[in-house]
């Protein structure tokens, strides 16, 4: 029995795809082991959003070879799609598959019949054009459900359209069939994942809102979260659907990227701060206790100190609950690489720290606004130093003493004991 280990870098979409691939190997008699353990085959589902993600991929390759110098190593996904030649030259890498070809991973590994390592890497990188659905099952509490892939937004800093191809999805009917498969498991929560899920169905003349209308009817789906959705695609109809449905969780993840209209225009974003503000206000009007996360890039070229402060003040004054802060990273084949005014690395770092501090403050403020409310917590399986964690409908983190009987259960609790130093509510004695 061959031992195979998977490691996923990057987004929720990658996690759903890795899980789908791993089930294929399980079905063919492979023994799946943890990536830290000796294995015959190591698979790294890579990311190319930042230089750090690519650096991490290379570190994992070296780590794999230390565990088993004779192992076959497969690098798949976005980094492979964009830089296959670079990866294929790394000692120890035997298979390099892009985002279209990675779904044929099993066929490539089957060809490794000779126990000796091949002299050159098996490389397959095609243009991603078809849509392959998927969902994760590694965490029985939560499933990342891939409903869309690719992106038609060619932002100045981003390589995702190059790595993932054009926006595409299955039809509503096909996607609902996959949702029923998830509903047939003991998963309690589903996270809708994709590159740009607001674009779902457009090649079929359908809409994301139309999909949600059918999704909430699927028997067995208890909790559904919408992952990142662009401000210009987050319609009033979608917001109202979330407000009206007990299945759709009041938790939004909206990319902002910059709180300055001048920087947003330079980035090539399709909205301005007025649109973003209107989306936040509409959500809070219908769901005052909804959680709203925002993505933000600091240190983008031509972001002067004045424009940075404009962005900072906009976020500080907005009713977002917390911020995912990303430091701008130069990417080959992007327009931003050729912009004149590049921000020095130390300045990027300082600005990142300022926003991270603001994010912590806003999260604690949001948590305190919910103090005294009754919420339903879905408890997760991990035992962390004797404690277990869970999340409320509006994504407030709660912890209590570990109780194996509560794993994957939903419990109604009162949010009382807030631990500000940990940004978490404590439940129990």
- For residue 276, what is the enclosing H or E element? helix 273-286
pLDDT band at 137 (very low <50, low <70, confident <90, very high): confident
Q: Does pLDDT of 144 surpass 80?
A: yes
Mark whether 104 and 184 lie in a shared domain.
no
pLDDT score of 119: 61
Mark whether 85 and 18 lie in a shared domain.
yes
Residue 328: name the closest of 226, 195, 81, 307 by CA: 307
Mark whether 300 and 176 lie in a shared domain.
yes
pLDDT in tens, 186-220: 999 999 999 999 999 999 999 999 999 999 999 99
Domain assignment present for 422: yes
Q: Pick from 344, 366, 388: which residue ends a domain?
A: 366
Mark whether 273 and 412 lie in a shared domain.
no
Q: Are 126 and 169 in contact (CB under 8 A)?
A: no
Domain count, the chain: 3
Mark whether 404 and 311 lie in a shared domain.
no
Domain assignment present for 117: yes
pLDDT in tens, 103-130: 999 999 988 765 555 567 899 999 999 9
What integer best gives the mean pLDDT of the chain?
95
CATH label of the domain that carries residue 256? 3.80.30.20
Domain assignment present for 181: yes
Mark whether 63 and 161 lie in a shared domain.
no
Global pTM? 0.93
Q: Give φ, ψ of 127 to 5 degrees.
A: -70, 125
Q: What's the average model confidence in pLDDT over 301-311? A: 97
Nearest-angstrom CA–CA distance, 127 and 121: 19
pLDDT in tens, 386-398: 999 999 999 999 9
pLDDT score of 314: 98
Nearest-angstrom CA–CA distance, 224 and 413: 20
Mark whether 110 and 221 lie in a shared domain.
no
pLDDT score of 110: 86
pLDDT score of 173: 98
Residue 374: beta bridge partners? 414
Q: Are 214 and 206 in contact (CB under 8 A)?
A: no
pLDDT score of 264: 98
Mark whether 9 and 115 lie in a shared domain.
yes
How is residue 271 written in tokens? 């909205």
Mark whether 336 and 403 lie in a shared domain.
no
424-426 and 417-419 beta bridge pairing: antiparallel
CATH label of the domain that carries residue 91? 3.40.50.12160
Domain assignment present for 129: no
pLDDT score of 116: 54
Mark whether 58 and 154 lie in a shared domain.
no
Nearest-angstrom CA–CA distance, 385 and 159: 39
128's CB contacts (< 8 A; 6+ apart) are 81, 98, 99, 100, 149, 150, 163, 164, 165
pLDDT score of 309: 98
Mark whether 285 and 142 lie in a shared domain.
yes
- Domain range for 253 is 134-366
pLDDT in tens, 223-267: 999 999 999 999 999 999 999 999 999 999 999 999 999 999 999
Q: What's the average model confidence in pLDDT over 263-274? A: 98
* Torsional class of 386: left (φ above 0), alpha (ψ -120 to 50), beta (otherwise): left
- For residue 77, what is the enclosing H or E element? strand 72-77
Domain assignment present for 409: yes
Mark whether 110 and 195 lie in a shared domain.
no
Q: Which 3-state string (H, E, C) describes 10-21?
A: CCHHHHHHHHHH
């Amino acid at each position: 029995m061959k031992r195979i280990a998977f490691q996923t870098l990057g987004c929720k979409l990658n996690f759903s795809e890795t899980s789908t691939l791993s089930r294929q190997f399980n079905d063919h008699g492979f023994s799946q082991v943890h990536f830290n353990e000796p294995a015959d085959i190591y698979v790294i589902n890579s990311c190319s959003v930042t230089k750090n993600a690519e650096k991490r991929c290379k570190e994992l390759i070296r780590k794999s070879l230390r565990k088993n110098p004779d192992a076959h190593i497969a690098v798949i996904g976005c980094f492979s799609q964009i830089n296959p030649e670079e990866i294929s030259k790394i000692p120890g890498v035997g298979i390099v598959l892009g985002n279209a070809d990675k779904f044929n991973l099993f066929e490539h590994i089957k060809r490794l019949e000779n126990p000796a390592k091949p002299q050159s890497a098996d490389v397959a990188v095609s243009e991603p054009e078809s849509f392959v659905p998927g969902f994760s099952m590694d965490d029985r509490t939560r499933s990342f459900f891939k409903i869309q892939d690719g992106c038609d937004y060619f932002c100045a800093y981003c390589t995702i359209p190059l790595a993932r191809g054009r926006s595409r999805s299955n039809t509503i009917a096909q996607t609902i069939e996959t949702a029923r498969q998830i509903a047939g498991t003991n998963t309690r929560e589903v996270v809708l994942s994709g590159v740009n899920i607001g674009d779902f169905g457009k090649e079929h003349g359908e809409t994301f809102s139309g999909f949600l209308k059918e999704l909430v009817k699927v028997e067995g789906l208890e909790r559904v979260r919408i992952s990142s959705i662009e401000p210009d695609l987050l319609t009033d109809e979608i917001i109202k659907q979330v407000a009206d449905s007990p299945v759709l969780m009041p938790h939004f993840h909206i990319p902002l990227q910059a709180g300055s209209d001048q920087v947003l225009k330079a980035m090539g974003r399709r909205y301005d701060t007025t649109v973003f503000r209107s989306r936040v206000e509409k959500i809070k009007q219908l769901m005052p206790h909804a959680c709203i996360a925002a993505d933000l890039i600091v240190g983008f070229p031509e972001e002067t100190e004045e424009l940075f402060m404009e962005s900072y003040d906009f976020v500080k004054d907005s009713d977002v609950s917390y911020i995912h802060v990303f430091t701008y990273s130069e990417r080959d084949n992007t327009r931003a690489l050729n912009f004149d005014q590049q921000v020095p690395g130390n300045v990027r770092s300082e600005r990142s720290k300022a926003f991270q501090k603001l994010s912590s403050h806003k999260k604690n403020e949001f948590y305190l606004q919910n103090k005294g409310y009754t919420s339903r917590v879905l408890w997760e399986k991990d035992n962390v130093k004797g404690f277990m964690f869970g999340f409320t409908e509006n994504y407030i983190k709660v912890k209590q003493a570990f109780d194996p009987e509560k794993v994957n259960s939903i419990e109604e609790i009162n949010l009382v004991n807030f631990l500000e130093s940990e940004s978490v509510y404590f439940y129990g004695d």
